[in-house]
A and B are shown apart, each in its own frame.
Chain A
Amino acid sequence: MLRFALRRFALIVPTLFGLSILLFAWVRILPGDPARSLLGQRATPEAIARVNEAYGFNEPLVQQYLSYIGALLHGDLGISIDLKEPVLNAFVDKLPATIELTFVALLFAVVVGIPLGYYAGRRVGGWVDTAVVSTSLLGVVIPVFFLAIILKYIFALKLGWFDTANRQSARIDAEHPTNFYVLDGLVTGNLGASWDALLHLVLPGIALGTIPLAIIVRITRASVSEVVHEDFVRTAESKGLSSSVINRRHVLRNALLPVVTTIGLQLGLLLSGAVLTETVFSLDGIGQYLYAAIRVRDYPVLQGFILFIALMYAVINLIVDLSYGLIDPRVRVS
C-alpha cells in the first residue's frame, strides 16, 4: 500500500512541474512585452520599468524561471497587481468560504445522488428510473450560474426563505477565528451564527452541486445495474443471505468503486463552478477573487489560482486513488 501511494505520488510531480513551465510561459508569450500586458491600461513608462524590475523580466529566461520556481517552492505565489498584496495571503483568507461551499455542494450531490442512483439502478426501466434519468439529464444542461439565478429568484427573493448575499447576515455579530463561518460559530459557542452561515450556503450549495449530483446519479445507476447481474450476487442469493446483507456488502460496495472516482473528478468541476456560484451569491471566496482578477487581468492572481487548483485537484485525486485500497482489497494486493 505504501509503495502504491509513493508511486502514485511520484506521478504528480512531473505534471505540476510541466504546468509551472506552461504558466511561466503564459504571461511571457502574450503579444507585447509582459510588463505591458500585466499593467494593461496603466502602462506608463515608469510603471513598466518598475514591473520589469520587480518581476525580473530583464533577466535571462532560465534565470527568471529558476527564481519563479524557487519562490513557488517557498509558497510565494506572487503579488497581485491590482490589490498589491501577496496572492497567497488572499487565498488563505478566502479559501475557507470556498471550501465550505464546495463541501456543502459535494455533500448534497453525494447524499442525494447515491441513494437515487442506487434505487434507479435496482429498478432499471421503472418509472422512478425514467424520472431519475431524465431529471439528471436536465441537471447537466442547465448552466450553473443560471440555476443559481433561478434559485435565488424563487427561494430568496420571492419566498424569502434564505438570505441572498454574503456569507452571513449583517445583523449577526460573530467572531471569525478560523474564517470557516459555520465552524466559527461552533468554536465561539455562537450557534445562531453557525446556523445563519449554514443557511447562506444552502442555495449556492444546491446550485453548485446539481451537475455533480446528476453525474453521480448516472454513474451509481449504471454501476449498480451492472453489479446486480454479477455472479457473486447470484451466489450470495443462492447461499440464502438476506437481501439487506447482499445489497450492503456485495452490491453497494462493489458498485461504489467507479462512484468514488467520479466524486474525485467532480472536484475540478466544483472549484471552477465556484467562480460562477460565488459571483451570483456574492460569497467572498477565491472564486469571487478570481472573478475580480479576470476583469482587470491580474495575471499573478490567475497564475497562482490555476497552480493552486491543479495542486488541490492532483492531491484529491491521489486521495481518491488511495481510498480504492480501502474499498477494494484487490487494488491493495496488486
Chain B
Amino acid sequence: MTVPLTVSPTAPGGVEEAGESLWHGAWKRLRRSPMAIIGATIVLLFVLVAVLAPVLAPYEPASSEWTSLSTPTFVQGPTSEHLLGIDRWGSDMLTQLLFGARQSLIIGVVSTLIGLFAGAALGALAGGLGGWVDTVVMRFVDIMLSIPSLLLAISIAAALGKSSYALMIAIGVAQVPIFARLLRGSMLSQSKSDYVLAANALGLRRRTIIMNHVLPNSLGPTIVQATLNLATAIIEVAALSFLGLGQSDPAVAEWGRMIVSGQDRFLIAPWLSFYPGICIAVTALGFTLFGEALREALDPKQRR
C-alpha cells in the first residue's frame, strides 16, 4: 500500500519532465525550422489583421459608398485612395479583405475547437475504457468516416440554416471522426509502452494511469492535426460559402462569398475574385506550414 504513495510524487514529476523535454526539444527544433518560421509569421499576421481589422481598415466595412465605381461595365482598380480598388458591392476592397479575416479566423478556430474537443472526448472514451464502449464509439466514427468530410459538412450546414454558427458546427462536427480516431490510436499505442507496464506493476489505478500518463503522452499527434485542420477549416468555410451555405448577410465580409460575388464581373475585373482567393490560400498555407513543422519537431525520430 505504501508503494503508490512513495511513487506518486515522483511519477507525475517524471512524466512532466519527460513531457517538458519533448516539448522543449520541439520548441528548439521549431525555432531552427524555416518552415515553422514562415508558417508562424503568416499565422501571426493573419491573427493580428483579424483582431485589428477595425484599426487597420482605411474605411468603414460594407459601406457601399462607391457603388458608382463598381458597375457591370467598369470596376475601379487600385488607386491611392483605394489601394486594392473597389469591391463588387461598392465598398473598399482592402477594408473588406481585412474584415474577411475575422470571419475566417473565428469560424475556423471555433469549428476546429468543436471538432477537437468532441473528437478527443470520443477518442479518449474509446481508447481509455475499451471493451464495448470502444466498439460502439468506433462504429459510430466509421459511419461518419463513410461520408467524405466536405459532404458531411455540407449536409449538416444545409440542415442548420444560413448562419455563421451553422458553419462552425457543420465544419466542427465533420472533423470529429478524425480526432476521435487519432487520439484513440495513439492512446492504444501508448498503453503498450513500458512506462504503462511499470505503472501497472506499481499498482497505480487504471484511471490514474490513463488520465495522468497515457492521455497526456498521446496528445502530440492530436495537436498537430488540429493545426493542420485549421487550414482545412478555413478552406471549407470558403467552400461552403461558395455553395451558398453559411452567413447570408452581405454586410459581413467573408472571403468565400467575396469570390462568388465577383463572378458576374469576372471578365472586366478578375481581381474581385482573385484577392480573396489569394487571402484564403496564403492563410491556409501558413497553418499548413506551421502544422507540418510542428509534426516534424514532435516526431521522436527527429530527436537527436
Chain A residues with CB under 8 Å of chain B are 14-16, 18-19, 22, 26, 30, 137-138, 140-146, 149-150, 153, 157, 268-269, 271-273, 275-276, 279, 290-291, 294-295, 297, 302, 305-306, 309-310, 313-314
Contacts and interface: CB of A to CB of B under 8 A. Distances in A.
A16 B146 contact: yes
Name B's interface SS.
helix
Nearest to B274: A150
B288 A140 contact: yes
Interface residues of B, number: 39
A309 B87 CA distance: 38
B267 A271 contact: no
A146 B142 CA distance: 31
Contacts of A268: 147-149, 151
Contact of A141 (B263, B274, B285): B285
Interface string B273-293: 110010011101100110010
B244 A146 contact: no
A30 B157 CA distance: 12
Contact of B239 (A30, A143, A305, A314): A143
B245 A30 contact: no
Contact of B281 (A15, A141, A291, A313): A141
B158 A294 contact: yes
Given A143-B238, A146-B280, A306-B151, A15 B288 contact: no
Name A's interface SS.
helix
Identify the interface centre among A140, A144, A290: most chain B CB within 10 Å of its CB: A140
B242 interface: yes
Given A22-B143, A310-B146, 5 more contacts: A26-B155, A146-B280, A157-B266, A294-B158, A306-B147
27 contacts: A18-B139, A19-B146, A26-B155, A141-B235, A141-B281, A141-B282, A143-B235, A143-B239, A143-B281, A144-B239, A145-B259, A146-B273, A149-B277, A157-B266, A268-B149, A272-B148, A273-B150, A290-B154, A294-B154, A294-B158, A294-B244, A294-B245, A295-B244, A297-B158, A302-B155, A309-B147, A314-B146
B48 to A, nearest CB: 20
B285 A137 contact: yes
Contact of A145 (B142, B147, B239, B244): B239
Contact of B280 (A143, A276, A305): A143
Contacts, number: 114
B270 interface: yes
Contacts of A297: 158
Nearest to A145: B242
A143 B259 CA distance: 11
B146 to A, nearest CB: 4
Contacts of A276: 239, 242-243
Nearest to B160: A30
Contacts of A18: 139-140, 142-143
Nearest to A30: B159
A215 to B, nearest CB: 12
Nearest to B150: A272
Q: Which 5 A-B pairs give the minimum distances between C-beta atoms?
A: A268-B148, A272-B150, A146-B277, A141-B284, A18-B143
B231 interface: yes
A295 B256 CA distance: 16
Contacts of A314: 146
Contact of B146 (A15, A144, A146, A149): A15
B143 A19 contact: yes
B43 to A, nearest CB: 13
Contacts of B154: 272, 275, 290, 294
Given A141-B235, A275-B154, A276-B243, A309 B143 contact: no
A268 B147 CA distance: 7
B245 to A, nearest CB: 7
Interface in B239-271: 239, 242-245, 256, 259, 263, 266-267, 270
A141 B292 CA distance: 13
B119 to A, nearest CB: 17
B159 A26 contact: yes
B243 A291 contact: yes
Interface string B153-166: 01100110000000
A81 to B, nearest CB: 13
B238 to A, nearest CB: 5
B277 A143 contact: yes
A153 B266 contact: yes
Nearest to B146: A310
A3 B235 CA distance: 42
Nearest to B235: A143
Contact of A269 (B148, B244, B259, B282): B148
B277 A150 contact: yes
B139 A271 contact: no
A149 B288 CA distance: 23
Given A141-B231, A276-B242, A153 B270 contact: yes
Nearest to A137: B288
Contacts of B143: 15, 18-19, 22
Contacts of A153: 266, 270
Contacts of B288: 137, 140-141
B245 A313 contact: no
Interface string B284-304: 110011001000000000000
